[in-house]
Chains A and B, each alone.
Chain A
Amino acid sequence: MKIVACIKYSLTLSELKVDPATRELRLATTPQRVGTIDRNVLEAAVVLKPEGSTVHGLTLAPAGAREAFREAIAMGLDDLTIVDSTNWAAGGPMATAAVLAAAIQKMGDVDLVVCGEASDDGVTYQVPPRLAERLGWPLLAYARNIALAGATLTADRDLDIGMQSVACDLPLVLTVTQETNTPRRPTLMDAVKAKKKPVVVWQPEADLGLSAEALQAAGGVTRIAQEGIVIARKEQLFQGDDMKALANQLLDALLAEHVVAE
């Protein structure tokens, strides 16, 4: 059996700052890393892997970021394919799904694709359903309590209203949430072994036969403005060991704000 884990080199959103004067999002200075949800993806893929199977990492990322994937590989990937986005001019979930689908088809004989419910940074929730549609496979999204018996996968889908227990035959696209599992921490041994694992780099145009221009046009969505959201708060911090004093300080502040009355 062949499993593909789709992972993303993502912006660390907790570090993304808004320029208070210009409201510009400081994207260029925000550090990037393989996302936290991607650890759940890798854990799910590695745990599911039956005897004699292989797990392949797949990402659309700048080839120059390959070192950032070292730990992801160490979590149990047999190899990693980077579709190089360095000179790739198409953005958005539609183009990303097209790239991933083309790469999965080129890999051949894939039985299961695992994705995060949404990426750490884009969070559009569009890529997995679009990928499933492109591949013509069912999408089993928001999966918890995942089990694989032969060629049938069962899971509980964590929906807003409750759990939906489902069964589905492979091939399929699976998405996981941060609640799905607890990602493993690779050991030093794993990290050493990871250095020997192959990293393949494909170019979307030359190797996958895709056209950024055509995909961008077909996507039909163009960004025309961007603005950071600034919400000013007082940010007043009360501290000290005397809880009674702290409580009274807070009540005084709330009374002064007229949100409560005495």
Chain B
Amino acid sequence: MAKLLVYSEEAGVARELLAKARQVAGTQGFTEVGVVALGAAAAATAAIWGEWGADVVYTVAEPALDVYNPETYTAALAGVIEQVQPVVVLVGATKRGLEVNGRVAERLGAGAVSWCDDFSYDAASQSVTAKCLVYTGIGNNTYRINVLPALAAVPPGVFHEQAFAGHSAAVIAVPVAIPAARMRVLANSVKADTGRRLQDAPVIVDVGQGMRNREDLAMAEELAGLLNGQVACSRPISSERDWFPEWLGLSGLKLSPDLCITLGVSGSIQHTIGIRESKLIVAVNSDENAGIFAQADYGIHADLYQFVPALIEAIKTRSVTKK
């Protein structure tokens, strides 16, 4: 009985992990693909996970788990793992997933790796091999994990969700005692979802801190609009300036558009890991030595405030479009 368990507090990420789990279940000899649903609300809709690839949904229907708290979620996930006894646990490497992953691993004495983007289980040797991004994506390490279960934190966007029509899941309630958390949650403010599907955009205009004011985004929007694209940004543009809810990079989205045009992005690897799968990268930066130029196909050494209006003008004059 070699079970694989999937956990993410983000439903979209859990779907990505389930798709991968379902795809490899046969070849790697997993006898069961399970998913964890925490909270009374999640337990009530547990059956939906069947068509996303789960054989079993393990629920902990505690109302206390309806609000995310790392302490209660650690207790719940550790409890489920102890009772289900999987050999592999895929955990979505969101910030919430990562804080729970490390703590669960420590509690259970489980082997754990971060930034995993491929894995395989070998029944004969009772070990798991995991390929992981290291040094924020400059390299890959391959690890052998022989203290099971192997907890592998997988970044969002590495695998792709897939519906398995007609597949259904059994729902099993797992009794786990959830102790009161010492860290008290006072309030949650959730960023407004813009409903944009950056993953589907053929062109991405990627804005960095070289753009000074929020109003200046209009120029990026216009450029993107002319090329049937979308505007995305680096982490500080989201986390410090709050211009967009999502960002690109190691801890954010990873996109692979036909064309990515960066405007005022320095080229730190934590960011470029989010765009390096693009077919073509154009970088606009006023610093001749900016690291982004070595990671781009075409670099424009110019002030974006001068260059972007000129580019927009030229696109219009020559009626350039994105097919």
Contact = CB atoms under 8 A, between A and B. Distances in A.
B258 interface: yes
Interface string A158-200: 1111111111110010000101000000000000000000000
Given A126-B105, A160-B95, A223-B141, A168 B302 contact: no
B112 interface: yes
A13 B136 contact: yes
A255 to B, nearest CB: 7
Main secondary structure of the interface of A (DSSP, over half): mixed
Contacts of A237: 293, 298-301
B102 A126 contact: yes
Q: How large is the interface on A (under 10, 10 to 19, 20 to 34, 35 or more residues)?
A: 35 or more
Contact of A16 (B106, B138, B148, B310): B138
Contact of A218 (B147, B240, B269): B147
Given A125-B114, A179-B236, A229 B185 contact: no
A254 B315 CA distance: 11
B300 A246 contact: yes
Given A141-B70, A261-B323, A222 B181 contact: no
A102 B187 CA distance: 34
Contact of A13 (B103, B135, B307): B135
Main secondary structure of the interface of B (DSSP, over half): mixed
Given A162-B188, A246-B310, A220 B111 contact: yes
Contact of B189 (A25, A162, A227): A162
Q: How large is the interface on B (under 10, 10 to 19, 20 to 34, 35 or more residues)?
A: 35 or more
B171 to A, nearest CB: 26
B140 interface: yes
Contact of B113 (A129, A221, A235, A243): A221
Interface string B291-310: 10111111111100011011
B106 A129 contact: yes
Contacts of B252: 160
B190 A231 contact: no
A94 interface: yes
B26 interface: no
Interface of A: 11, 13-14, 16, 18, 25, 93-94, 97, 117, 121, 123-130, 132-134, 138-142, 154, 158-169, 172, 177, 179, 218-229, 231, 233-239, 243-244, 246-248, 250-251, 253-255, 257, 259-262
